[in-house]
Amino acid sequence: MSSASSTSTSTPVPFGAAMREQFCLDPEWKNLNHGSYGTYPLPVRSALQSHQHLAESSPDLFIRRTSPALSAESLSQLSSLLNVPASTLAFTKNATTAVSTVLHNIPFTASDVVIYFDTVYGAVEYGLISLSERSPVQLRKVEYELPVSHDEIVNRFKALVEKVQTEEGLNVKAAVFDTVVSMPGVRFPWEKLVEACRELDVLSIVDGAHGIGMFKVDLGAVKPDFWGSNLHKWLYVPRGCAVLYVAPEHQHLIRTTLPTSWGYIPSTSLASTGKDAEATALAYRTLFQSTATNDDTPYHCVPAALTFRKEICGGEERIHAYLEQLVNEAADLVANILGTEVLQERGLKEGEKSLLRSCALNNVRLPIVVQTTTGEDASVMDWTKPGPEGSLYAPLPKTLAGQVAGWIQGKLMDEYKTFLPVFVYKGWLWTRLSAQVYLELKDFEWAGDE
């Protein structure tokens, strides 16, 4: 099996401007929003094009033989990185598809409840609502407002499980939660929540859209029941590519992909495979080999991406450390330029680390307050009234906040050749910063000044 070692044996390229030359980026584009779509380096582009050429040179041979073999090698290397057997891994197009596939396969009854969290990714929440409309399962949400500590999030989850079970007499069957929240971009206590789920006999379904490639992920140690992560965001694999992990004891539950395809496992076949661990693992792997006539060549680029990260970047640990340090320094710098604040836990002591900020995403408040009232005047901006402390303007009407955020984002793309997500949270406009190895502090200083 090929090695996915996290240490480098060659001299790495310095991070920042020098590393930018290794990527496919337009020299005029400053890519400050890596977190949304990712991008990949030139050697990975060469690998992708090589696989695509091979696919078109002999389509049947490639799709029937070559592609499954290449995917198996990629999963083998990912298994080393994630510290789990390759037989527990399969490819999907993105993390949302991975989560949706799991939820689609779990059998629910009218007494079952799925718990999710206030900062859930929007598409996943829509998927949960759709699930509740077509199946008897009920939904409950853990309510909170950031910033809140990791421990408080876990405690609120446990309290909700207790309430649902004792006061409502229902069964909490599963919980869906993030590794890193998308918006606002904060590290979520997913490891502690997996442990809590195990203690409470609740299935853990982890949306790791932001995960692998951003920080160390040891699934063998954390032991979630289900976990999916995009590879095209932080691991430098082309879009769309994600990996789905299903613990061996739950693989018999996964009988269909989305859409249902040739690997489908009918209930009549379940009796024969479900009792045999090896047969179940084989059926699970086969299930995902052909889900539609897709371009699966991004799956085959995992070895090239891992080689680049090891030999050019200096290994996983060096990447992870740089991303977290850069985005934390950048957020502090931009907040200082704007005279605002960074989203983090309240009451941190001098030198105390923010767990919410322990990732490659940070959030900075913009000096633009948003109305919180919903009366008749909520759509009228009163320029005669001064804004509260920290706001450059009078309160922005709540009904117009989305339009203003979109206008700012359009201005950034059209005039400044960059992009930063701008969103409404807690009565203010905020922006999310994404660190990457081809960026350095002066890139974010430029954004703050402009």
Listed residue (295, 263, 223) closest to 105, CA to CA = 263
Listed residue (298, 300, 307, 432) closest to 22, CA to CA = 307
**How far apart are the C-alpha atoms of 125 and 259, rounded to whole Å?**
20
DSSP annotation string for 4-42: --SS-SSPPPPSSHHHHTTB---TT-B---HHHH---BH
Q: Are the C-beta atoms of residues 30 and 443 closer than 8 Å to each other?
A: yes
Q: Which domains does the chain show, CATH number per domain? A: 61-304 (3.40.640.10), 316-449 (3.90.1150)
DSSP 368: E
**How far apart are the C-alpha atoms of 279 and 285, rounded to whole Å?**
10
To the nearest whole percent, how much of the chain has pLDDT over 90?
81
Strand pairing report for 171-178 and 203-207: parallel
pLDDT digit string (tens) for 370-396? 987 665 455 566 656 666 777 777 788
HEC readout, 258-318? CCCCCCCCCHHHHHHHCCCHHHHHHHHHHHCCCCCCCCCHHHHHHHHHHHHHHHCCCCHHH
pLDDT of residue 1: 36
> Which residues have CB under 8 Å from 270's CB, separation 6+?
252, 255
Q: Which residues of the chain have pLDDT under 50?
A: 1-5, 376
Listed residue (383, 422, 431, 375) closest to 399, CA to CA = 375
pLDDT of residue 292: 73
pLDDT of residue 2: 41
Q: What is the pTM of this model?
A: 0.93
**How far apart are the C-alpha atoms of 239 and 227, rounded to whole Å?**
19
> Which residues have CB under 8 Å from 182's CB, separation 6+?
35, 121, 209, 210
Strand pairing report for 422-425 and 361-369: unpaired
Listed residue (398, 413, 326, 330) closest to 368, CA to CA = 398
pLDDT digit string (tens) for 252-281? 999 999 989 888 889 887 655 556 778 888
Mean pLDDT for the chain overall:
92
